[in-house]
């Protein structure tokens, strides 16, 4: 991307979102940062230090399709294009058996992981198609294909989210767009892997490692990577 890319980050105030924002801010990218927490967005905006011409923020809930459409309209009005869409929205729910979880638990995980991704992809695809090198990226988990016990709502939602991205990758194959999945076990926000090394923490991934991998996937060198599940947890 000869001009600074326009990077859209949903879930930008998460530790991973902040690391990605800082990584692209170093390249003076145009950043569109979205979260449900306007105060955290304000603090993040101040911390990354980009000029106002390179930055927009808005508090939106992408579980709602209209919010994603609103975000796309704001990005188009502000920057005129979108080169990268990154969805980091979604939490974790576990610790119960399939029969102990209720319908609300399953719906909540699907809302956070699958529906936010679907809403964002549908809203931003028209803009991404205008990019010379468009990218769609999510962070997922090995649980999507190897679900552990007592994790059904999360694992089901991640499997649905990955299926959406893999289908998208097939539909955009041969175009300037790519869609890829980064898989992590645990996101190490406190540097525990280095402070307390152990077999358990050896597979943990830092937000900065995720950010660097995403930066590579957004580069010209990664144009041939499409529809990949990229493991960021060392040996399986």
Residue ranges per structural domain of the chain: 6-231
Rounded to two decimals, the pTM is 0.95
Cβ atoms of 60 and 74 closer than 8 Å: no
φ/ψ region of 76 (left if φ > 0, alpha if ψ in -120 to 50, else beta) reads alpha
Which residues are 140's β-sheet partners? 183
- Range scoring the smallest mean pLDDT among 88-97, 148-157, 164-173, 226-235: 226-235
What are the residue ranges of helices labelled H in the chain?
Answer: 15-25, 38-48, 65-79, 103-109, 116-128, 152-171, 192-195, 207-217
Per-residue pLDDT tens for 34-75?
A: 999 999 999 999 999 999 999 999 999 999 999 999 999 999
HSE-up of residue 138 (Cα within 13 Å, Cβ side)? 31
Pick the CATH number of 6-231 from 1.10.10.10, 2.40.40.20, 3.40.50.720, 3.20.20.70: 3.40.50.720
Per-residue pLDDT tens for 160-215?
A: 999 999 999 999 999 999 999 999 998 888 888 888 888 888 888 999 999 999 99
> CA 98, CA 74: separation in Å to the nearest integer?
40
> CA 87, CA 214: separation in Å to the nearest integer?
12
Cβ atoms of 39 and 27 closer than 8 Å: no
Total residues found in the chain within this entry: 236
Other C-beta atoms closer than 10 Å to the C-beta of 159 total 18
Cβ atoms of 106 and 152 closer than 8 Å: yes
């Amino acid at each position: 991307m000869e001009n600074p890319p326009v990077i859209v980050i949903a879930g930008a105030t998460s530790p991973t979102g902040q690391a990605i924002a800082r990584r692209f801010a170093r390249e003076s990218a145009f950043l569109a940062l979205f979260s449900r927490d306007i105060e955290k967005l304000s603090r993040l905006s101040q911390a990354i230090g980009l000029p106002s011409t390179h930055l927009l923020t808005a508090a939106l809930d992408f579980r709602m399709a209209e919010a994603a459409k609103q975000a796309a309209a704001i990005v188009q009005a502000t920057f005129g294009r979108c080169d990268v869409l990154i969805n980091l929205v979604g939490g974790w729910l576990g610790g119960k058996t399939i029969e102990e979880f209720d319908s609300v638990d399953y719906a909540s995980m699907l809302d956070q992981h699958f529906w936010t991704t679907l809403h964002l992809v549908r809203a931003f695809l028209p803009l991404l198609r205008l990019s010379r090198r468009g990218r769609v990226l999510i962070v997922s988990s090995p649980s999507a294909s190897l679900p552990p016990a007592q994790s059904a709502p999360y694992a089901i939602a991640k499997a649905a989210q990955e299926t959406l991205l893999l289908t998208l990758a097939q539909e955009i194959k041969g175009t300037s767009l790519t869609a890829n999945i980064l898989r992590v076990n645990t996101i190490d926000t406190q540097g525990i892997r280095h402070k307390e090394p152990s077999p358990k923490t050896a597979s943990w991934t830092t937000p900065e490692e995720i950010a660097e991998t995403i930066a590579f996937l957004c580069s010209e060198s990664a144009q041939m990577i499409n529809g990949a599940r990229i493991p960021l947890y060392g040996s399986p």
